[in-house]
Chain A
Amino acid sequence: MPRARPSAGLIIALTVLIGLLLAALLAPWVAPYDPLAQNLDNRLAGPSGAHLLGTDQFGRDVLSRLIWGGRNAFGGVAIAVGVTFVVGVLWGTVAGYWPRYAGTTLMRLADIMIAFPTMVLAVAITGSLGAGLVTSMVSIGLVLSPNTAQLTRSGVLAVRQQQFVQSARLSGVRTPVILARHVLPMALRPVVVQLTIYTGLAFVIQGVLSFLGLGVPKPAPSWGSDLSDAYAQILSAPAQIVAPGVLLGVVVLCVYRVGDALRDRMSTGVVRTERTEDDLIVA
């Protein structure tokens, strides 16, 4: 298949994401101020040369908080998507390769978990485990994993029937090798796309959880809790919501753009890739 040249939109999206990730990683050198340093004489200031995005209700530099908050955002989403990948793929592979008893039981469990509204389940698990970055992100990962399990399973079921897998089995190749070398590389193509979309979704759910006070505890910088701080000032300074909100929206948009591009490249005959909005509707 000839490779199409990446579109301008894709290049912009990737540049934005990589730039933000680098800024977050290099926060101590990039951020102009300490994200926790208060200056009560300069509260809720608009953008200026000294504070490019202004200051919040404690006089903290908004730009520095967003850069440092990026660490929680990217790190947290990496945890969530990692959990979804590991749990979902294991779950789906076992269910797909041994469809009879293990598969039926595992998929019943997935059906039940999927019946819970995603956000409700994420909030309930986080609430039960106790608020915090790791607990909230592991919750998100667990909540999304049955969807990944279903997609993995249908991919494995489809590939398992292919002749090259049958012949590998007949020639005595061991099951883990068959799975790792022959089944999963093809079966996981749609999963990679789904996980990209879930990355965007995880940014949103993380934002919601920290907005609700279930994520990183304040005063640590995080986009969601900065938004809830900004909302507390909506009467006196409505513009405070713009910076963290737009940043979150732009990141999600860029991630979906990358997901769309991956989807276009990964479509193969045997295993179907879903449309972006199909994956999104779970939330």
Chain B
Amino acid sequence: MRTDTEEVTGLADEPVADPPAANRRRGRFAAGGMPRFVLRRLLLFVPTAVGAGLLTFLLVKIIPGGPAYARLGEEATPEAIAVVDKQLGLDRPVVEQFTSWLGRALTGDLGESFQTGQPVSNLIALALPVTLELVLLAIIGTIVVAVPLGVYAAKRAGRRSGRWVRTVSGVGLAVPDFFLALVLISVFSVGLGLLPRLGYPRFTEDPLGNLYHVVLPVLPMILGGSAIVIRQVSAAMVDALASDHTRTARAMGLPERVITWRYAFRAALPTVLNVVALLALGQLGVTLVLEKIFVLPGMGSALVNAIGVRDYTLILGIVLVYVLIALVVNLVVDIISGLVSPASRGA
């Protein structure tokens, strides 16, 4: 049996392989019900997070010549490298390095930046809200734009207006977000002078100014995200509107609006939630380049700058935070999907 969750992510487990065994397994977990499912999912989170931490750690290990070399430059003598390695604890066995890094990371201590000497956690505390604001506004905007349009396209799937929505969103899929940003800048900022391109007042100091300055960075994310979400919502709604329970609701003479939103949309909801969550993670990546374009002091700018100066501890800290956010989003979505649709609990 296929669930809605799998349909979206393409992560279908064992589509037809050994169905009796699959059912037995599913049945066992289904019998445990919701609390058991949440517990299992939470327990699974720990090894995944540790694994992601290890992967991050190893990722930065592949810097050619190691961080001391990157810091001291090509002229570095072996003695100088040895001194820096000792300072950073890089002369110890890798396993020990990893466990001590992870142990300190758990207490919020991500070490000091190579470049500035400031605690990495302080730098991240400044940058993270900027990025989260962009993603959050982009997701809200996408839902507002894409869900009604997707439902509309599904209700008119056979007609010209519905096809138009799908065609336009299909073209939207192909337009790179960062190019869209450049086009919007040249139209709304350079051409019409309506919206600012640069500058970022903090929300806590100047809420309105802050929102005014993030319109242009968020707009390409909303448009790009909507292109994906419209098509997903409309596909899920076409299935839901064609299902037996919708037909029953229609046969009972319920008003069309109730059928669409209370019955069909509810059936499509797990798909929509999943898409939106995956999109949020994708948008986290898009902010990388948008922050660079709009010179915003977020995580993306920080990461790209840290890579530019080979700031080993900063790269490590930033990537770790990105991954933790991604893992938590995945966890929350799985749990919500489990609440909305019992079928996805087993997978």
Contact = CB atoms under 8 A, between A and B. Distances in A.
B286 interface: yes
B231 to A, nearest CB: 5
B307 A214 contact: yes
A235 B279 CA distance: 32
B128 interface: no
B15 A272 contact: yes
B15 A158 contact: yes
A contact face: mostly helix, strand, loop, or mixed: helix
B175 A120 contact: no
B40 to A, nearest CB: 15
Contact of B179 (A126, A241, A279): A241
A129 B62 contact: yes
Interface of B: 7-18, 47-48, 51-52, 55-56, 59-60, 62-64, 170-171, 173-176, 178-179, 182-183, 185-186, 190-191, 228, 231-232, 235, 275, 278-279, 281-282, 284-286, 288-289, 292-293, 303-304, 306-308, 315, 319, 322-323, 326-327, 330
A119 to B, nearest CB: 3
Contacts of B174: 200, 249-250, 252-253, 256
Given A115-B327, A117-B282, A238-B186, A158 B17 contact: yes
B17 A157 contact: yes
Given A124-B59, A212-B288, A272-B12, A281 B48 contact: no
A127 B63 CA distance: 8
B63 to A, nearest CB: 5
A117 B326 contact: yes
Given A112-B52, A249-B176, A249-B179, A208 B303 contact: no
Nearest to A156: B17
Contact of B228 (A108, A204, A208, A280): A280
Contact of B183 (A241, A279, A280, A281): A241
Interface stretch (A23-31, A51-59, A67-75, A147-155): A147-155
Contact of A282 (B178, B185, B282): B282
15 contacts: A120-B319, A123-B288, A128-B60, A154-B12, A158-B17, A207-B178, A208-B176, A234-B190, A238-B191, A245-B179, A249-B175, A275-B231, A278-B7, A278-B10, A281-B275
Nearest to A224: B178
B10 A276 contact: no
A153 B182 CA distance: 40
Interface in A10-44: none
Contacts of B52: 112, 115-116
A112 B304 contact: no
B15 A278 contact: no
A280 B306 CA distance: 28
B307 A127 contact: yes
A27 to B, nearest CB: 23
Given A249-B176, A277-B232, A281-B278, A124 B319 contact: yes
Interface of A: 99, 108-109, 111-113, 115-120, 123-130, 147, 150-151, 154, 157-158, 160-161, 194, 200, 204, 207-208, 211-214, 227, 230-231, 234-235, 238-239, 241, 245, 248-250, 252-253, 256, 270-272, 274-283
Given A128-B60, A238-B190, A161 B182 contact: no
Contact of A112 (B55, B171, B190, B232): B55
In terms of DSSP, what is the predominant structure of the interface of chain B? helix
Contacts of A231: 182, 293
A128 B59 contact: yes
A150 B11 contact: yes
Contact of B289 (A125, A208, A279): A208
A204 B231 contact: no
A186 to B, nearest CB: 13
Residue picked from A204, A248, A277, most chain B C-beta under 10 Å: A277
B179 A128 contact: no
Contacts of B12: 154, 272
A208 B288 contact: yes
A245 B187 CA distance: 15
A154 B9 contact: no
Contacts of A283: 282, 285
A268 B326 CA distance: 34
Contacts of A120: 284-285, 288, 303, 319, 322
B172 to A, nearest CB: 10
Nearest to A126: B307
8 pairs of A and B residues whose beta carbons are closest in the complex: A119-B285, A127-B307, A253-B174, A238-B186, A245-B179, A157-B17, A252-B174, A117-B285
A234 B185 CA distance: 8
A128 B63 contact: yes
B232 to A, nearest CB: 6
B13 A154 contact: yes
B43 to A, nearest CB: 14
A137 B303 CA distance: 19
A154 B278 contact: no
A118 B285 CA distance: 7
Contacts of B59: 124-125, 128
A124 to B, nearest CB: 5
B61 to A, nearest CB: 8
B306 to A, nearest CB: 8
A35 B334 CA distance: 51
B282 A227 contact: no
A192 to B, nearest CB: 14
A270 B16 CA distance: 8
